[in-house]
Every structure is written in C-alpha cells, then in structure tokens.
Amino acid sequence: MKENKSAKKIKRFAKKKWDNFTDWFTEKEHPRSRLNKNVFFHDSLKLIGLILVFLIINSNLDKINQIVLIFIKLGSLLQLVLLFFVLRKAWHIIINLKYAFRGLNHGTKAIIAIAIVLLLFFAFVNQDKVVGSFVQTYEETDFNKLNPIKMPSNFSLGNFSLGSIASSGGISYSSIKDLHQNPSNYIGQDVSIKGKLNNRLGGYSLEDSDGYWVWIEDNCIESQREYNYNSQTYTAKGTWRSPKKDEYGFGWGVEYKYRLSCTSPLS
C-alpha cells in the first residue's frame, strides 16, 4: 500500500510539472500581436522589385554614369535613391516580423532563441572564417560607385583640389584619374591610391572604375601572395616617382613611366 501511495504521488507530481510546462510552452504573452500577412506579402514584393532594379543598375553602372547632369552621375544617384527605399522597405518588414514574434508562444520563442545561440556559437568556433569573409567582402566592395558627385579634375579651391582627393573611411586617396592626366604634379609626394590590380604588358598597375590606370612598382607585390586580378580592389601607399631609364649595357634600357613606389605591399 505504501508503495502504491508513493507511486501515485510521483505520478501526480510529474503530471503537475508536465501540465505546468505545457501551459507555459503554449501560453502567449501578447496573444493579439500577430503578423499582418497582407502587408507582409505586398512589402516583400516591393522589396524584391527594388532589389532587382538596384542589381540591374549596378550591372550597367558604368554605362549609365556616362549620363552626367551638371556634376551628378545619374547611375550612382539612382543607386543611392534605390538603396534608401530598399532599406526603408526592409525596415517595414522587420517591424511587421517583430509583432509576429511578440505574438508567438513561449515555447516557440525559446526554440528560436536556442537556434540563435547555436548560430552564434558556430560563428565563435569559426570566427576566423566568418570575420575573414566579412573583411574580404568589405575590401571587394567599391564604395566609390555610390558617389554621385563628379567634379572636374582641374576644379580647385585654393590649395585644395577636389579632383585629386577623395575621402574614404578617414583616409585620403589620390585620384588615379588625376595621377594619370597630371603625373608631374605629384613627383616626390606621398600618395595613397585605391583600384583594381592589373598585370599589364610591362608591369603592374591599379585601375579605377572609369578605366584610368597608373603604374606601380614591383615592390608593391608580394611574391608568395595570390592576387585577384581585374576584380578585387587594393590599396597602395608610397611615393610618386618620375620617369627613369635602367641601362643594360650598350645604351640599351627599359624606360619606366611615372609610377608609384610602395612603402608596403598592397592591402
């Protein structure tokens, strides 16, 4: 009899705990908060449409940027406007999803939270790959394409040349176009340039989005490093040099054009 009573007490205790758990699991803290399906559907369609238009313009940006309204590049201007509406519409969808999340029961919220913790733990274990992929994506992104302002290279205000300086991330980069067109103005100066790396006949060069390029010396390249030519953007820092001629006997030699002598390898 005592054993039966003990077993019944254990069963009642387990049943009570299970009922409490199921009540908690299915309970909703905000039962009236739910996803507005109609708004979510229409916002998703609008967001997809905006992204598609953005990608079309981005693929043909160089062609569209040939249309310049006074000093505004049409392609980059359209990209900025579309990016604003893409972020705005994405924010509306996030707000809608927030209300949907508030209306979930405690159990579903707990499962989602556990999944997020597991993803964060996976990112922590593979942080080198995760951080490396973010850094690589950042380096490969050409933010100059979002700049809609196109000023003449000879436009200046006092000693400050708008055509020769572009500010990005707190670093002043010299314009490759201005170095290409007015190389003698920079002889002996320390400059920093940013562009796509090319291996041309005669040496290495960096090229901007408009097709202008300048030579860089071999000391900019690390022999044991793999580079992504014609695709990835690199930064070069060094001193701008005047033309020279290396002699190899009998008056023969190789003539070097204006070029950048790096103080450190490309980054």
The domain spans of the chain are 2-145, 156-262
Check if the beta carbon of residue 102 is closer than 8 Å to that of residue 33: yes
Q: Spell out the CATH class of 156-262.
A: mainly beta
pLDDT digits (tens, 9 = 90+) for 236-253: 888 888 776 544 444 444
Distance CA 194, CA 235 (A): 4
Q: Which of 105, 89, 91 is nearest to 34 (CA)?
A: 105
pLDDT band at 229 (very low <50, low <70, confident <90, very high): confident
Extract the tokens encoding 250: 């009998």
Distance CA 46, CA 91 (A): 12
Query: What pLDDT was estimated at residue 76?
Result: 86
Query: What pLDDT was estimated at residue 81?
Result: 92
Distance CA 58, CA 5 (A): 76
Token pair 């029961």: residue: 105
Query: What pLDDT was estimated at residue 157?
Result: 47
Query: What pLDDT was estimated at residue 154?
Result: 46
pLDDT band at 1 (very low <50, low <70, confident <90, very high): low
Indicate the average pLDDT of the chain. Answer: 78
Token pair 């860089």: residue: 216
pLDDT digits (tens, 9 = 90+) for 104-156: 888 888 899 999 999 999 988 888 888 888 887 877 777 777 778 876 544 44
**DSSP H helices in the chain:** 2-26, 37-59, 61-64, 74-102, 106-125, 127-140, 176-181
DSSP SS3 for 166: strand
First to last CA, the chain: 82
Query: What pLDDT was estimated at residue 152?
Result: 53
Question: Percent of the chain having pLDDT more than 70?
Answer: 84
Query: What are φ and ψ of residue 153, in 5° steps?
Result: -65, -20
201-227 in b/e form (b: 16+ CB < 10 A) is: eebbbbbbbeebbbbbbeebbeeeeee
